[in-house]
Amino acid sequence: MFKKSYNRAVLRLRVETVTPLLIKAGDAGLDPTAAELACVRTRHGAHGATVYIPGSSLKGVLRSAAEASVRGQRFASGSVGACNPLEHGSSCGRLAGRDRPAPAEVYRQQCLACRLFGSLALKGRASVRDLFPWTDGGDVDTGPGGKNWKAANQVEIRHGVSIDRIVGSVKHGPFEMELVPAGVSFWGEIALENYQAWQLGLLVRALDEITDGFAQLGSSKSRGLGVARVEVHSIIHEQPARASERPAGVGALATEDERDAYALLPELEFPALPGEPRGLSVRFTARDLDGVQAWMEAGRQALGRLA
């Protein structure tokens, strides 16, 4: 499905912490005063050192939430909702290796979750980028070095202990946890490539799971950490200019032979938007709240029609 460019999209989103957040760094370094469980940090070329949410951390939560919402289901098309990666003989990753079948055959045998997020045998459609505590073009509070950035990097220190469940005494601790406080926002993007409407719907379903509190970010979730809200601020969709007059998923843009070869699932049209010519491509952008919600709802409906 990556031999041609059918469509692509970028979802720009904001993640706001409802409770403190801890995404642990690999090690505390050589600083003897550093907390044992320190927040992950990076050094931005223009704005210096900062806490952030790694794209891999958010993608892992999104995948787990998406799999949980479709696991155990078999849809009308015969597709499985989510495979079990621990069952090597039946998981989607079993097709990885030197003698694996043709790409179309590999894609046909993937579960819905692996068709979106990828497996050992297939590249995923969704790429999650790192999220930072500022947004370009924002006001003085949300821009680089602003009030939100300062609040995110003014971390909280919380003390904890580990209890031995057999004897009831302290097994380890007290230890220090470094937490990003509640009420802080992070901005980032999720990119989709050659996707169908139902794949957007499955991604939106996973984002809803975070906002609804069923999925949490980072570590120490059982201690109350990692509750967050997610808002999609805009959706940018591009496709070849000659493909269609309105935005569409791969199922509407591919040929009949390609749909049969890859066993593409039924497609649903996206809301109509005015297109902006960009060379050989045309861009459709949903920026206002109603437009973004309409796109997300179209994805949810496309996912629901698979049942």
Report the pLDDT value the prediction gives residue 170, as an integer from 0 to 100.
Answer: 65
Gyration radius of the chain over CA positions: 21
Alpha carbon separation from 28 to 22, 23, 34, 150 (Å, rounded): 14, 13, 6, 21
Triad 142, 145, 150: Cα angle to 5°: 85
CA–CA separation, 167 vs 237, rounded Å?
A: 58
pLDDT score, position 171: 62
User: What are the tokens at 248?
Assistant: 């569409």
pLDDT at 253: 92
Q: What local confidence, expressed as pLDDT, does residue 90 receive? A: 76
What pLDDT, on the 0 to 100 scale, is given for residue 42? 92
Residue 189's pLDDT is what? 97
- Considering the chain, what is the average pLDDT of its residues? 88
pTM of this structure: 0.91
pLDDT digits 0-9 by tens, 251-285: 999 999 999 999 899 899 899 999 999 999 999 99
DSSP H helical segments within 156-288, as ranges? 197-211, 250-253, 256-262
Q: Is the pLDDT of residue 175 over 60?
A: yes
How far apart, in whole angstroms, are the C-alpha atoms of residue 35 and residue 163?
19
- How confident is the model at residue 76, as a pLDDT? 67
Q: Measure CA 70 to chain center.
A: 16
Calculate the alpha carbon distances from 154 to 149, 151, 294 in Å: 9, 5, 37
Return d(Cα 118, Cα 103) in angstroms, integer: 13
Residues 25-60 pLDDT 10s: 866 555 655 667 788 999 998 889 999 999 999 999
Q: Is the pLDDT of residue 201 over 80?
A: yes
Task: For residue 169, name the pLDDT band (cuts at 50, 70, 90).
Answer: low
Q: What is the DSSP letter of 166?
A: T
- Out of 31-35, 65-69, 190-194, 254-258, pick the least confident: 31-35
The percent of residues above 70 in pLDDT, for the chain, comes to 90
User: Going by DSSP bridges, is the β-strand pair 281-286/126-128 parallel, antiparallel, or unpaired?
Assistant: unpaired
pLDDT digits (tens, 9 = 90+) for 76-122: 667 888 988 878 777 887 776 656 678 888 888 889 999 999 998 88
Lowest-pLDDT range of 112-116, 162-166, 229-233: 162-166
